[in-house]
Structure 1
Amino acid sequence: MMLIPPIIQPEVLFREFYLTAVARYLGAAGLAALLYDHALTIGDEIRLIWAAPRSFLKWMFLINHYLSEVGLIVSANEMSGLNDLSYDDRRCRKLMIAIYSYCTVSTAAANAIGFFRVIVIWDKSPRVMLGLSIALIATFITTLLCTIAALIILHSDIHYNPITQICFVSKSTPAAIILWATPLAFEIIVISFIAYNALSLPRDHRTPLRRILYRDGMMFFVAVALSRGLNIAFSVVTEPGLVLMLI
């Protein structure tokens, strides 16, 4: 006996398709921009990163760099609706577990890069190393606990929509918000250390402040902080299509 789907209001259906399209196109745009940037910088990466001696910072950079690309490729494929994979609620829940796990590892790698950058800028100051180490460990533990809590709380609210052919989360949770707010707080600490160091350095008119900030990687960490803030905004919103943009 075939089940007859319930009647859906046209405006509700339109909104579902609209939010799904927004998530898909933004995901595709983000992936295209990331791959294009990688193509432009692959020469410098081979010369400066791959040829460098083995170190923890080198591996953290490579893990974060390539994990981001792999994560976006998998996410774009899963959300595209163009593959032949069959989905149900169970598969969507496994996908969300993989995505949240990927976000946790990627966030930890990005935080480690910020940690070592500040340590180098401050000439391995013991006080800075101690304070930033405590902040880094606290950030990782909080992020990990919030990831586990969010997956447990949202597990029964992760579904597959056969109409829009996409996985979605039907609600938000404070754990998901804290999950992004914690690394944002760490990025603000990193930015503060970089800015304070740049302002305290002696310089003349031939060395503008913006050049020092650019040299110390301020633009990168500001961009990361803005992305964290955007993730917080999407976590607050309960629209399923917008929640998907966290990926």
Structure 2
Amino acid sequence: MSAVAQVELIQFGNIMFSSALAFLYYDHLLTSGAEVRLMWCTKNRSLSKYMFLFNRYFAFFGNMFAAYSVFSSSLSISSCQSLVLYHQIFMGLTQATVACILTLRVYALYNHHRILLISFLGYILLGLAATISFLINNHSKSSNITYVNPGCRNLSPDMSSAATVAAGWEGILLIDIVLFALTMWKAHYTHLQLVNTSRIGVSLFAVVVRDGSIYFLIMASLNLVNIITFYIPGNVNGNLSAFVGCLAVTLMSHMILGFHCCYQSIANVEICISLESRN
């Protein structure tokens, strides 16, 4: 790779990673008020709340360490190799966390069907284990990672390794598609029931389906683009992963906050109706 190409690769990688961090932390600031109101100022101890906090703050603090590997001006080559491995495993754990939350949402829609939960969580854990195993094995053989002031870079991307990493993202896309299909099927079935019983109105189920559809359309499109970049040599090779990962965390946070906001609104309405009926 020529010196000019190396500079372009470094600049593009810095731009994409900086954009991902700016998006993640700016949205965190914008939604901090809703988080305090819906999560910290309530006595709710649901699994949804704990998953929200883990997803949100695992990405919040984990990306700080990832930023250290990209922007630090005092690293050795051995430190670079360890930090790059950490960043790759961190992205895998982030995506697995988001996939688990999506699975729990569908699990709730299907009346806590245990086979569905075990099947999807097993698939996610096996995929995560395979990805981490490959990354560790590839890390011990890789000699392409080097220190370029500032930060650590892989200036000679291996296309065969990139294709294997892409397989992990393809697995995420597959599970997104299957979970979305299950959500749509449940939505269709529930709609028929509501029509037959002449029930109308907005429910928590409708919120879950709406938010899930928006999440799928955005993330499936970006995941597909990200996967394609792994097969294209040049500046874009894998450099969209950080942005896609941060966006997935952000959208999931919005989905859970939206659900809790709707739940709180419905609960308040029910309390008002109960008080009025007593009077």
Task: Name structure 1 gaps, 5 residues minimum.
Answer: 1-7
What pairs up with 1:22-171 in 2 under 5 angstroms? Answer: 22-50=12-40, 51-80=42-71, 83-88=72-77, 90-124=78-112, 126=113, 129-155=114-140, 156-162=142-148, 165-168=151-154, 170-171=157-158
| Matched ranges for 1:223-234 at <5 A | 223-234=218-229
- SS of the equivalent of 1:188 reads helix
1:62-119 deviation per Cα after TM superposition (whole angstroms, max 9, x unaligned)? 2221222223333334223xx332231x112101221122123212211111011112
Q: Following TM superposition, by how much is the alpha carbon of 1:171 offset from its aligned partner in structure 2, in angstroms?
A: 0.9
Write the letter of the residue equivalent to 1:69.
Answer: F
1:186 counterpart = 2:171: no
Tell whether the 8 Å contact from 2:85 to 2:139 is kept in structure 1 after alignment: no
Runs of 5+ unmatched residues, structure 2: 243-279
CA 1:95–1:69 in 2, change beyond 3 Å: closer, same or farther? same
Change (3 A) 1:224 1:64: farther
Q: Which residue of 158, 177, 195 maps to 2:166?
A: 177
Q: Deviations over 1:114-160 (max 9, x none)?
A: 01111222333x3xx41343122122212221221133124324411
**TM-score, structure 1 as length reference:** 0.77
The residue matched to 1:243 in structure 2 has which SS?
Answer: coil
- Deviation track 1:168-201 (CA, whole Å, cap 9, x = no partner) reads 1631424312221112211111111222222333
1:235 is the counterpart of 2:230: yes
| Structure 2: distance between partners of 1:163 and 1:101 | 23
Residue pair 2:25, 2:60 contacting (<8 A) in 1 also: yes
Q: Which amino acid aligns with 1:195?
A: M
- RMSD, aligned CA: 2.9
Residue deviations 1:200-234 (CA, integer Å, cap 9, x gap): 33368x979xx757644322244343443344223
Normalising by structure 2, we get a TM-score of 0.69
Tell me if the contact between 1:20 and 1:164 (Cα under 8 Å) persists in the aligned partners: no
Letter in 2 for 1:26: M
Match of 1:5 in 2: none
Give the deviation of 1:165 after TM superposition.
5.0
Give the % identical residues.
19
- Kindly state the Cα deviation for residue 21 of structure 1 after the two structures are TM-superposed: 0.9
User: Which AA in structure 2 matches 1:196?
Assistant: W
Higher relative contact order (CA 8 A, sep 6+): 2
